[in-house]
Amino acid sequence: MTEKIDYVQLYSDDLKRCAVFESLMTDYVKELDEHGHEPMPEGFLKKWVGSIISMQGPKDRHLELCYLGGEPIGFLYGKVDRDGHNGYIRPGWGYIMEFYVIPSRRRKGCGREMYKRLEKLFKDDGADKMYLTADPVTGKPFWEAMGFSATGERSPENKMEIYEKTSSLDWGKIKLMPLTEKTTEEIGGWKYESPYDVYSFRGEADGWLMDRSTWGKEQFCLACGGRVIGQVACQKDGEDLWVGWAMAPELCGKGHGAEFVKRCVSELRRVTGHDGRIMLRVSAQNQRAVRAYQKAGFKYAETIRDEIAYSGRIEDFWVMELKDGAEK
């Protein structure tokens, strides 16, 4: 999205904006009820809204209305749990209590920007871990895309499943490292969910991955400390560098794709010294990967038909290229 969202902290003496918040909360609660949430007792909404507004004031409690072009598009509400708080708490964690985007502004990047805003507020307050309970219809897919994972635990207060997320990946600290026996064993055990399970090693690393002569020359892992983020391979062909990589399964489908590709490219340039064109091929059916490559600056070069070595299937592949400096 190109428009800038304006955020306004809500206080009880701002009666006009309090009325806007109550109106948005009415729509929000109605949607939850439609999705099977336990209905709110009649007449309780106004009291609930009033209690939320009255609790504003502490530095690490945030209730902000979100505006786009002067029009309200939703709200975010979160606090950092502290010892002594009532109810279910995780001291030191940021708790996303309520979060709402009006339907006409969904799937346009607004929710993602609002989440980033709340994440930054939590970080400024010293909380790098967050949790929430998610509406199973619209909330679950959104929060999973933001990198939250289900814990299997349910809140004793609203009976909804708890999702959590630790600090975001700091891509600037993620480095390309030579493969080792330990990292190849981990990568060999990666399993992806359908329909991407065809890319799984199924518990066994292939012969090329285990070729020690390529470790640190053509084969690497992308890692942060002891955590393996991805597998990265490259081969020089004339003036071009052909590449291939795989991101750790637990990070897939959570909005990391483009940043992962950019980091692979920058680290390969650093390690190999290659400053020319970078080439790759990707199955035309793998639209998730294609979108990540496009966001990272790759362009279509040609289409070929080829056999997938590990399955024997014939598929269309797109050859994509990244020209000098395109990722910068």
pLDDT of amino acid 104: 96
The answer as to whether 327 is a domain residue is no
Instruction: pLDDT band for 130, please (50, 70, 90 cuts).
Output: very high
Range 158-174 average pLDDT? 83
Maximum mean pLDDT: which of 148-152, 267-271, 308-312: 267-271
Are residues 12 and 159 part of one domain? yes
Domain that residue 101 falls in:
6-165
pLDDT of residue 205: 47
Residues 269 and 181 in one domain: yes
pLDDT at 203 over 50: no
Q: Is residue 78 domain-shared with residue 11, that is, in the same domain?
A: yes
* Lowest pLDDT segment from 31-35, 220-224, 262-266, 324-328: 324-328
Determine the pLDDT at residue 145: 85
* 243 token code pair: 């590449």
Q: Which of 28, 288, 24 lies closest to 139 in space, CA to CA?
A: 28
Which amino acid is residue 243, in one-letter code? V
pLDDT band at 75 (very low <50, low <70, confident <90, very high): very high
Q: Is pLDDT larger for residue 56 or for residue 264? A: 264
- On whether both 161 and 43 belong to a single domain, the answer is yes
Question: Residue 225 pLDDT more than 90?
Answer: no
Residue 149 lies in a domain: yes
Query: Nearest Cα to 118, choosing from 76, 74, 179, 168?
Result: 76
**Model confidence at 290: pLDDT above 50:** yes
Domain boundary among 165, 198, 230: 165
pLDDT at residue 14, as a whole number: 94
- Least confident span in 27-31, 50-54, 186-190, 257-261: 186-190
Do 149 and 245 share a domain, yes or no? no
Q: Residue 159 domain-assigned? A: yes
How much is the mean pLDDT over the chain? 87
Give the percent of the chain with pLDDT over 70: 93
DSSP string, 187-247: HHT--PPTTGGGG--TT---TTTT-GGGBTTTEEEEEETTEEEEEEEEEEETTEEEEEEEE
SS (H, E, C) 295-309: HCCCEEEEEEEEECC
* Percent of the chain's residues with pLDDT above 90: 51
Give which of 260, 323, 245, 266 is closest to 295, Cα–Cα: 260
Q: Is residue 1, in this structure, part of any structural domain at all? A: no
pLDDT value at 97 more than 90: yes
DSSP 78-113: EEE--TT-SSS--TT-EEEEEEEE-GGGTTTTHHHH
CATH code of the domain in which 252 resides: 3.40.630.30
| Residues in Cβ contact with 309 at an 8 Å cutoff, skipping those fewer than 6 apart | none
What is this structure's pTM?
Answer: 0.56
Q: Is the pLDDT confidence value at 107 over 50?
A: yes
Q: Indicate whether 103 pLDDT > 80.
A: yes
Cα–Cα distance measured from residue 274 to residue 237, given in angstroms and rounded to the nearest whole number: 11
pLDDT at res. 222: 94
**112/243 same-domain check:** no
Let me know whether 176 and 318 are in one domain. yes
Beta bridge partners of 262: none
